């Protein structure tokens, strides 16, 4: 079982590191581990948040790993109150067979997540359209 830790990723510029701080570890199945990007936003309610949780399927032949990233845009209103005005939401789900050989499982996970990190998939998400 992985140990909760802060996660460092590159910002959109591809150079600058941003750290997602570990806020709460998972307490077990169906309970999310929570990270926040605490360098963005003036209060926790305005900070981008990443949640990930896991659970077994009915016959324990697979583990489900699910999560989402909630990235908020804020604006200061004319009443001097900051509000969330837009939210980007990225959801993911993986079904991990428990009887798959480790080598195949490692390839499945690495290649799947590396596909998500490609320029083509990133550009599609940024533009809001699948490649045509």
pLDDT band, residue 67 (cuts 50/70/90): very high
pLDDT band, residue 77 (cuts 50/70/90): very high
Q: Is the pLDDT of residue 1 over 90?
A: no
C-alpha–C-alpha distance, residues 61 and 33, integer Å: 23
The boundaries of the domain holding residue 114 are 100-132
pTM for the full predicted model: 0.90
Segment 22-44, tens digit of pLDDT = 999 999 999 999 999 999 888 99
pLDDT at 42: 82
Cβ neighbours of 72 (radius 10 Å): 19
pLDDT at 9: 95
Same domain, 69 and 126: no
Strand partners, 19: 8
pLDDT at 41: 83
Same domain, 83 and 31: yes
Same domain, 107 and 92: no
Same domain, 74 and 105: no
| Domain CATH for 89 | 3.30.380.10
Helix (H, G, I), strand (E, B) or coil at 60: coil
Phi and psi dihedrals of 59, rounded to 5? -105, 15
Same domain, 19 and 35: yes
Structural domain count, the chain? 2
Same domain, 26 and 72: yes
Same domain, 93 and 113: no
């Amino acid at each position: 079982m992985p140990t909760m830790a802060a996660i460092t990723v590159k910002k959109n510029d591809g150079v600058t590191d941003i750290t997602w701080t570990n806020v709460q570890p998972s307490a077990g199945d169906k309970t999310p581990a929570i990270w926040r990007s605490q360098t963005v936003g003036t209060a926790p309610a305005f900070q981008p948040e990443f949640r990930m949780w896991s659970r077994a399927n009915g016959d324990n032949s697979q583990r489900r790993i699910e999560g989402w990233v909630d990235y908020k845009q804020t604006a200061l209103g004319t009443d001097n109150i900051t509000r969330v005005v837009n939210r980007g939401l990225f959801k993911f789900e993986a079904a991990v067979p428990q009887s798959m050989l480790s080598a195949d499982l490692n390839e499945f996970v690495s290649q799947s997540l590396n596909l998500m990190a490609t320029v083509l998939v990133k550009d599609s998400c940024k533009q809001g359209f699948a490649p045509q």
